[in-house]
Amino acid sequence: MHLAYPAVLAVLLFCTGLYGVLARRNAILVLMSVELMLNAVNLNLVAFDVWLRDALHSGQALTLFTIAIAAAEIGIGLAIVLAVYRNRGSSDVDRLRDTAETDEAETLPGDEDTDDAAHGTATPATAPAGKAKKAEATA
């Protein structure tokens, strides 16, 4: 078998995963796209291991290690996504990034905070407290 067939398939899988990471807004779909990219790398590792006829099968051993790391990454990533979804009510990646980067606190549905700093009308005495509260929440 030629090395070009699995290499082209791996490139197509990796490009599909890269497009999914860059274009998707749902965090779960981003994790699935990362998994697709890791599988493309695994395909390359096994294909080059077979092509080089390595006696130690180091490509296949490294593939098993990569699969174990990917399983742990998906488990931890899914736990983080579920925790964020419970706290924020959305797993939209753009929305989460926007809430972390803005200076004014964004009011979320069900947020009953009546602090003046959260509504943008902070007095000079309460402004540092509002920024410290936001920094603590994003840390």
pLDDT in tens, 126-138: 555 555 555 555 5
What phi-psi label fits residue 76: left (phi over 0), alpha (psi between -120 and 50 degrees) or beta?
alpha
Identify which has the larger pLDDT, 47 or 109.
47
Average pLDDT, the chain: 80
* Contact in structure between 84 and 77 (CB atoms under 8 Å): no
**Is the Cβ–Cβ distance between 130 and 117 less than 8 Å?**
yes
pTM over 0.75: no
Q: Could you count the other beta carbons within 10 Å of the beta carbon of residue 33?
A: 19
Alpha helices in the chain (DSSP H): 4-23, 27-52, 58-88, 93-101, 127-138
Residue 8 has pLDDT above 90, yes or no: yes
The two most distant CA atoms of the chain are separated, in Å, by 73
